[in-house]
Structure 1
Amino acid sequence: MVTRLLQSHSIFPTLDIEQTAAYYVQYLGFRAVPYLDAQEPLICLYRDDTEIILTCSRGQRVIPNRELYGYGYDAYFITRDQEQLEQELAAAGVKIVRPLMNTDYNNKDFVIEDIDGRWICFGIKQNG
């Protein structure tokens, strides 16, 4: 079977892309590359093999999925080292809204809340 999908990037609209980028750099260990003079201003955030693209929401506040639909995360990032990552983020002052646990859908993950109120999950499917 040919692999056609390689990676995924999350796109996060935000009221203040510079403030959100600074949060991700300071607390989550991302590196920011701004393209603020582009026709569509954005900041790309990089950590390991993950990229988040911040865009301007043009005055619209971020409404997390749990508010819009009653449940759900705004992004899910795959990681094999959940314990270490959770400890790192907690030590940095990131708000952990659900600690590391095994889910009823056979994932092991934890959830944070970012500066814009998004719930972001970090985890992976368990074998079996």
Structure 2
Amino acid sequence: MEKMLLMSHCVFPTADILKTANYYEQKMGFNAEHYMDSEEPHICLYRDSTEIILTSSIGQEVIPNRNLYGYGYDAYFITDNQEVLQEEFRNAGVKIVRALSNTDYNNKEFVIEDIDGRWIGFGIKKALKNWVFTITCT
């Protein structure tokens, strides 16, 4: 069967788009492309095969999923090199809210909190660790 879905990108509204972009560049190793003069101003953040699109929340508070619904991450990135990535983030001062561990749903993952309070997971299904594929956001 032909693949119909190839990738996904996270879209994060934020109260201060430039401040959030700077955080992702300085702390998390993303590169930013600014499209602030476009009809719908935004910034694209890139790292490896991953893209996050920042948009303005137009002054509205950003409320993470766990606060709205009682649990849940705001994004999940698949990676098979969690140890190195977690250490990189820790050294850069990124807040690690859940250290690398094996979950009860068979993932090996860690979770960070970004500058806007979003919880973002970085992990992979343990059974899929040896597969080669790219998924950017769930």
Matched with 1:13 is 13
> Kindly, what percent of the aligned residue pairs are identical?
69
Give, in whole Å, the separation in 1 of the partners of 2:2 and 2:37. Answer: 38
Deviation at 1:100, TM superposition (A): 0.3
Amino acid at match of 1:67: N
Matched with 2:95 is 95
Structure 1: gaps of 5 or more residues:
none
Give, in whole Å, the separation in 2 of the partners of 1:13 and 1:23. Answer: 14
Q: Deviations over 1:81-105 (max 9, x none)?
A: 0010000000110000000000000
The residue matched to 1:19 in structure 2 has which SS? helix
Q: How many residues in Structure 1 have an aligned counterpart in Structure 2?
A: 128
TM-score calculated relative to the size of structure 1: 0.98
Give, in whole Å, the separation in 1 of the partners of 2:86 and 2:47. Answer: 15
Q: Deviations over 1:23-73 (max 9, x none)?
A: 000000000000001111000000000000000000001000000000000
Structure 2: gaps of 5 or more residues:
129-138
Matched with 2:35 is 35
The residue matched to 1:123 in structure 2 has which SS? strand
Matched with 2:45 is 45
TM-score calculated relative to the size of structure 2: 0.91
The residue matched to 1:127 in structure 2 has which SS? helix
